Structure 1
């Protein structure tokens, strides 16, 4: 299981609000280039974000589906990327001090060729990408927080 984390100086509710806006997904997920649709009710269990990955014109279309949610503390996703397979991605938000939230992302391959790679190799490939994604998410959360005040 690959782990990455970031700490933001906002309450968990504010941090989770960025995750709850599916239209922002391509703004922070490295590789996602275009959101085509967000199911009504996102991030309820079973709802999906329909997106494209890659650079135009070489894009792949797929979906990420909510497996479990406990707002504002946790969002558990299954991200699909044909033909690579799918991955389980869990985001845990913990208030470590008043108005300070640690966001921890864990990921592991669920299906496809990525599942055959040892965890150490998956970590070498995915940890930098996940850390960059969380850095982008942090900037987005802080920017939205400043705009709201």
Structure 2
């Protein structure tokens, strides 16, 4: 199991809002370059994101499926890693006790395919930097949504 965490200076609901926007997936998941489609009802259990990984023209088409969800608390996914195999990814959100943000934890476990045969240490070396960067991007998008919401003002009626 590869575990990565980050504190994001916004609420769990703002973090979850990014996760609930399937079209934002390529904006924060390192390695995914294009979203082809998002099933209606995302992120309900069983819905999928249809995405491409890699650089054009050598993109690989794949999917990610929701396994479990509790809005504002966690999202659990089955992510296909093309020829490497399949991973179970859980992203959990918990408010900080001092009210200054959200502890976001990403746990990834390779559950199928050739990558599963790699020792845990090697898996960590391969995937932890990617997951660290993914959480940084997720946090930036969540903060951006929070900032945009706070900067919205109503124009006076004339």
Fold-level similarity (TM above 0.5): yes
Over alpha carbons, which structure has the higher Rg?
A: 2
Cα distance in 1 for partners of 2:149, 2:123 equals 38
1:15-66 deviations in Å (ceiling 9; x for gaps): 1111000000000000000000000010000000000000000110000000
Partner of 1:95: 95
SS of structure 2 residue aligned to 1:83: helix
Cα distance in 1 for partners of 2:130, 2:83 equals 19
Q: Is the 8 A contact 1:43 1:69 kept in 2?
A: yes
Cα distance in 2 for partners of 1:60, 1:130 equals 20
Partner of 1:143: 144
Q: TM-score if structure 2 supplies the norm length?
A: 0.92
Unpaired segments ≥5 residues, structure 1: none
Q: Is the 8 A contact 1:73 1:93 kept in 2?
A: yes
Unpaired segments ≥5 residues, structure 2: 151-158
Q: Is the 8 A contact 1:60 1:81 kept in 2?
A: no
SS of structure 2 residue aligned to 1:42: coil
Partner of 2:22: 22
Cα distance in 1 for partners of 2:17, 2:49 equals 16
Larger strand share, 1 or 2: 1
Partner of 1:50: 50
Give the 5 Å matches for 1:51-130: 51-97=51-97, 98-130=99-131
RMSD between superposed Cα atoms in Å? 0.8
Cα distance in 1 for partners of 2:92, 2:9 equals 15
Q: TM-score if structure 1 supplies the norm length?
A: 0.97
Q: Is the 8 A contact 1:52 1:62 kept in 2?
A: yes
Runs (4+) off by over 3 Å: none
Deviation of 1:99 (Å) = 4.7
